Chain A
Amino acid sequence: MNNKVQLEQVNIHFGKTHAVRDISMTFPEHSVTAIIGPSGCGKSTLLRSINRMHDLVPSARVTGKILVDDGDIYDRGVDPVAIRRRVGMVFQKPNPFPAMSIYDNVIAGYKLNGRLPREEADEIVESCLKRVALWDEVKDRLKSNAMMLSGGQQQRLCIARTIAVKPEVILMDEPASALDPISTLKIEELIEELKERYTIIIVTHNMQQAARVSDYTAFLYMGDLVECGETKKIFTTPEQKQTEDYITGRFG
């Protein structure tokens, strides 16, 4: 299997804080990779470096290489906006645009490409909402405000908005941690389906979730990559004592 995303000796600093230390790992194409670890271990920080979200934080400094399809996204001359089109992101708290309808939310990102003919927009809205299993729930009220949806529906709407841009990689930052168990289950089922088309990297503090949805798992602790490998192996026969202690709930 191809490696879609590859990290080479990635270090991330915020001012004087060294948040992520010297991490090298790969993310295979069309698979789900979970990044787990206790709070503050740098997993979200690492995730956000993969679509250059740290560019917004003046004190943040990312060194090393992050390759998407063999191209370093931190190379000079690479447009971060173009990178973010290829590497989409879903956040912890559902964040639909409150001033827009459900319909407009789905195409908000896609529309940035330029003028969008009506039929094309309709098609994108329908196919994206179907892919996140939201179509049947909202097809009669596409023009109503996105804030009318439940938290779980909002999060699926945000995923629809992300895939409408046609990314290759989707980063998910604890996408279900603000949701109830049933909504969480729906998001997990969705992740399973999405991996056929996209490469998914998901940060979660829920180890059962990592075990359920991911093919590969990376365990981070205090900014270091302790261990990574196939999820089955990490959860049954981890090589490191620290990993075993964490997944058996002895700390964290």
Chain B
Amino acid sequence: MRTSCCTNETETDRAAAAPKSPQPAIAKKLGGDSIFRYLTTFFAFSILAILALMLYEMAGESLPAIREFGWKFVSSKDWDAVQGSFGALPYLYGSVVSSVLALLLATPLSIGAALFITEIAPGRLGSVVAPLVELLAAIPSVIYGLWGVLVMAPWLQSTVQPFLIEHFGFIPLFEGAPYGVSMLAAIFILMIMVVPIITSITREVLLAVPQSQKEAAIALGATRWETIKIAILPYGKSGILGAAILGLGRAIGETMAVTMVIGNAPNISLSLLSPAYTMPSVIANEFAETTSKLHASALMEIGLILMVVTLIVNAMARLLIWSVSGRAKGGAA
């Protein structure tokens, strides 16, 4: 009797308390939530703020060089710190040529590797190879540079370059003497460094290709290669392009490894065997010993150009990749 009475009491208690107690609880929760929301919003925007601040600072610092040289800064190849005349064309040229050619070599390699991992590799082999490829991206670039300058460059000098000069020397691309450190060495080292990035993103793009697309091709009597050709690659086309452009962004900005193997000579030469120079390399090499305000400002302007270019390149790549994963989601719905 008593027990049942007790239970009754508790129930009525609860019922009576019910309309009151939830309200403060909800309000409390909202308080925590909104604080959390403001905090995360603040963090998110602080990143944008830092980016904007950097652009602003760099633009301000490079103003003297911009005022002094105008467009001549990017069209002149005369870089003389003593005379105070600064033209960044050799660095622009070196950066563009080394990264674009590295990309041209790395993209087919990466697509092949990604296709192997997603489509060809039997069973678990793909899931073993994929993380190994991504591990390559985690190796510090100075290690790549060290290997490049101690192992690859001597090998290029003793084997590859003499071979190229002997057999293809009539092409301007392979003219000159074998120095080892050269544009070619930079292209190779960049190629090795961007393959993991392009491969892992291409792999994600290929994994987003719906099974129904592969089945469509297979049911038409397509072989494995034909399935890749008519169903998988066309579906992932823009995403793969995005992956390649992201690799380009990485290659353009790469500093350490390139500085160690490219030879750091501000030449504009058609020959891939001659030493060259890139935008990040010249900043890294000269910033500590600037001779004048103008010199520092010129380096800053190179930095500004580099930053704007990589931002644009990355934004383009992201847009292309999103267009693919967006379509994959739309197709599934």
- In residues 215-237 of chain B, which contact A (Cβ within 8 Å)? 215-223, 226, 230-231, 234-235, 237
Cβ of A77 within 8 Å of any chain B Cβ, yes or no, is no
| Chain B, 229-252, CB within 8 A of any chain A CB | 230-231, 234-235, 237
* Complex contact A112–B222 (CB within 8 A): yes
Q: Is the beta-carbon distance between A56 and B220 smaller than 8 angstroms?
A: no
B29 at the interface (CB under 8 A from A): no
Q: Is A51's CB under 8 angstroms from B235's CB?
A: no
Chain B: minimal CB distance from A75 (Å): 18
Q: How many residues of chain A are within 8 Å of chain B by beta carbon?
A: 25
A84 and B221 contact, Cβ closer than 8 Å, known pairs A91-B216, A95-B215: yes
* CA gap between A81 and B234 in the complex, in Å: 21
> Is B223's CB under 8 angstroms from A158's CB?
no
Are A91 and B212 in touch, CB under 8 angstroms?
Answer: yes
Mark contacts of A73-94 with chain B using CB atoms, 8 A cut-off: 1 yes-contact digit, 0 otherwise.
0000000011011001101010
When distances are taken between beta carbons in the complex, the residues of chain B under 8 Å from A99 are 234-235, 237
B213 within 8 A of A: yes
Given A97-B213, A99-B237, A112-B226, residue A53 in contact with residue B219 (CB < 8 A): yes
CA distance A161 to B231 in the complex (A): 14
Which residues of B are found within 8 Å of A112, using beta-carbon distances? 220-222, 226, 230
Instruction: Check B327 for interface membership: any CB of A closer than 8 A.
Output: yes
A126 → B minimal CB distance (Å): 19
Asked if residues B237 and A93 are in contact (CB atoms below 8 Å), the reply is no
A/B pair count, beta carbons within 8 Å: 69
A181 in the interface (beta carbon within 8 A): no
Q: Is A64 an interface residue (CB 8 A)?
A: no
On chain B, the residues within 8 Å of A45 by CB distance are none
User: Is A149 at the interface (CB under 8 A from chain B)?
Assistant: no
Confirm or deny: B24 has a beta carbon within 8 angstroms of a beta carbon on chain A: no
Q: Assess A89 versus B235: contact at CB under 8 Å? Given A95-B213, A97-B213, A108-B230.
A: no
CA distance A99 to B223 in the complex (A): 19
- Does A41 make an interface contact (CB < 8 A)? no
Confirm or deny: B22 has a beta carbon within 8 angstroms of a beta carbon on chain A: no
Docked-complex contact A84 and B220, CB < 8 angstroms: yes
CB pair B215 A91 closer than 8 Å:
yes
Residue B19 lies at the interface, judged by CB distance under 8 Å to chain A: no
Shortest Cβ distance from residue A8 to the other chain B in the assembled complex, whole angstroms = 23
In angstroms, Cα B212 to Cα A89, docked, is 12
CA distance in complex: A165, B217 (Å): 12
Q: Is B123 positioned at the interface, with any CB of A under 8 Å from its CB?
A: yes
Tell me the minimal C-beta distance from A5 to chain B in angstroms. 16
> Main SS of chain B's interface residues?
helix
A42 to chain B minimum Cβ distance, whole angstroms, is 18
Interface residues of B in 82-112 (CB under 8 A from A): none
Q: Is B212 within 8 A of A98, CB to CB?
A: no
Tell me which of A53, A96, A108, A161 contacts B218 (CB under 8 A).
A53
Task: Give the contacts of A90-116 with B (CB-CB under 8 A).
Answer: 91, 93, 95-100, 108-109, 112
Q: Give the Cβ gap from A59 to chain B, nearest Cβ, in Å.
A: 10
B165 to chain A, nearest CB (A): 41
CA gap between A222 and B187 in the complex, in Å: 61
Nearest B residue to A99 via CB reads B234
Task: Please indicate the chain A residues that have their CB under 8 angstroms from the CB of B327 in the complex.
Answer: 98
B233 closest partner in A (C-beta): A99
Q: How far is the CA of A51 from the CA of B222 in the complex (A)?
A: 12
Interface positions, chain A 156-177, Cβ under 8 Å from B, are 158, 161-162, 165
What residues on B are CB-neighbors of A15 within 8 Å?
none
CB of A89 within 8 A of CB of B226, answer: no
B150 to chain A, nearest CB (A): 44
Contact B231 A85 (CB under 8 A): no
- Taken together as a complex, chains A and B put the C-alpha atoms of A167 and B126 apart, in Å, by 34
| Chain B: minimal CB distance from A198 (Å) | 14
User: Are A97 and B219 interface neighbours, CB within 8 A?
Assistant: no
Give which listed residue, A56, A58, A95, contacts B212 with CB less than 8 A.
Answer: A95
Q: How far is the CB of A35 from chain B (nearest CB, A)?
A: 17
CA distance A158 to B212 in the complex (A): 12
Complex CA gap A212/B235 in Å reads: 37
Q: How far, in whole Å, are A162 and B217 apart by their CA atoms in the complex? A: 10
CB-defined contacts of A161 to chain B, threshold 8 Å: 216, 220
Chain B nearest CB: distance from A19 CB in Å?
Answer: 18
Residues of B within 8 A of A58 (CB): 122-123
Give every chain B residue within 8 A of A108 (Cβ-Cβ). 217, 220, 230
Residue of A nearest to B234 (CB): A99
**B234 adjacent to A84 (CB under 8 Å):** no
Distance A161 CA – B222 CA, assembled complex (angstroms): 13
Residues in B281-333 with C-beta less than 8 Å from chain A: 327, 331
Contact residues of A with B, CB < 8 Å?
A: 51, 53, 56, 58, 81-82, 84-85, 88-89, 91, 93, 95-100, 108-109, 112, 158, 161-162, 165
10 residue pairs A–B, Cβ–Cβ below 8 Å = A81-B222, A84-B218, A98-B327, A98-B331, A99-B234, A108-B220, A112-B221, A112-B230, A161-B220, A162-B219
Contact residues of B with A, CB < 8 Å? 122-123, 210, 212-223, 226, 230-231, 234-235, 237, 327, 331
The 10 A-B pairs of least Cβ separation, nearest first, read: A109-B220, A99-B234, A85-B221, A89-B219, A95-B212, A84-B221, A95-B216, A81-B221, A81-B223, A112-B226
